[in-house]
Amino acid sequence: MKNKKCNNPRHVILVTGANGFVGYSLCKALYDYGHQVRSAVRKNDSVIAPNTIRVTVGEISDQTDWTEALNGIDTVIHLAAHVHILKNKVGNSLEEFRRVNTAGTLNLANCAAARGIKRLIFISSIKVNGEETHGGKKFSETDTPAPLNAYSRSKLEAEHGLRKIANKTGLEVVIIRPPLIYGPGVKANFAILLRWLRYGLPLPFGSINNQRSLVSLENLIDFLVTCLDHPAAANETFLVSDDTDISTTELLYRLGYVLGSPVHLVSVPATWLKVAAFILHKQDLLRRLCGSLQVDISKARTLLNWRPPISLDEGLRRIV
C-alpha cells in the first residue's frame, strides 16, 4: 500500500465495525499512515487492530450513545451495518435493517454534527444502484437508485438522511458504494469459491460470459484514505472498483492459478443452471455468479485523481 503519511495531515478517526473484514485492516492501515484510530465495536471481547483504542458502543440503533466514542474525533468512517440475510423473518425484516443501517447511521451522523466533527464517510453498497447491469452499461453515481431488497433499501434511506443532515448542519458526508470486496480473510460467496477450488471440485461455470466489477481490500482502503480530507470529496457519492471487469469463468481460472490448484470447469448451459438454482432456492447466488454487475469509477478518477494502486491480479494474489 502506498504511503500517504506526507499527503494527509494527522487525523483522529473513529471507525465503526472495526472488528470486521474491512474494519480491522482499515484501522491497521490508518495507524500505519500516522493517524490516531479509535475502534468502535459492539462487544468488549471483539478483536481489534493493534495500536488502536477500543470503544464499546453496544448495539447500533437510534438509541446508541456515541458520547465517549466521538470525544476528540475529527473524522468518522462508518462501516458497521446489518448485512446478514437471516433465515428467521425477524432478523431479515426491513424494520431490522432500518434499525441499524438507517436509524443507527443517522443517529451517529447527528451526534457527530452536534460535536462539530468535520467529515463522515459512509460505506453504502452498489446494491443501491441495483443487482445487475445489462448490455455492457455500467452503474454510475447518476443512475436512478433501484434497490431490490431490505438491505439495499435501508442503505439508500440512510444516504438520503445523511444528505439532509449535511445540508442542515455543515457535516461533510462522503458516500461510497463498493461492489464485492475481496482480500485476505474474505468470507461469504468469495470464500465458497475458494473452498471449491481448493477441493478441486468440478464446477459448472465453464462458459459464463458475464462481466463483474470487484474491489480489493487494499484498493478500497486506499480510496477511503483519499477521502479523509480531499476537499472535492465533500458531500459526494462515489463508486469504486479495481477498474478491471472479469467474467466468473476467468475469475475462477485466475484464482486457481494463484492458489496453485487445478481448475475443473464444465460448460453447462445457462438455462440448466437457472433450473437448478430455482429447485435449490439459490437464485440470488446464481445471479451473483452468472449475472453482470459493472461499475464506472470515472468520477473518482476525475474528481479525486484516484487510481487503484494495485491490479486485480495482484489483489487476487494477496488473498493467498
257 is known as an active-site residue:
no
Alpha-carbon gap, residue 279 to 216, rounded angstroms: 33
**So what's the pLDDT on residue 206?**
87
Domain 12-177 class in CATH: alpha beta
With cell 432500518, the residue in question is 98
Contact 52, 39 (CB under 8 A): yes
Residue of 24, 31, 33, 151 with catalytic role: 151
Cβ atoms of 67 and 38 closer than 8 Å: no
Residue 268's pLDDT band (cuts 50, 70, 90): confident
Position 200: which residue type?
G
Q: How confident is the model at residue 274 (pLDDT cuts 50, 70, 90)?
A: confident
pLDDT in tens, 139-185: 999 999 999 999 999 999 999 999 999 999 999 999 999 999 999 88
Beta strand spans in the chain (E): 12-16, 36-41, 53-56, 75-78, 119-123, 172-177, 180-182, 202-203, 212-216, 236-239, 245-246, 264-265
Compute the distance between CA of residue 311 and CA of residue 303 in angstroms, rounded to an integer: 21
Q: Round to whole Å and give the CA distance between 35 and 26.
A: 11
Per-domain residue ranges for the chain? 12-177, 188-210+247-290
Range in 13-27, 33-47, 89-103, 135-149 with the lowest mean pLDDT: 89-103
The pLDDT of residue 213: 96
Say whether 136 sits in a helix, a strand or coil. coil
The predicted-structure confidence for 76-100, as pLDDT tens digits, reads as follows 999 999 986 544 444 568 889 999 9
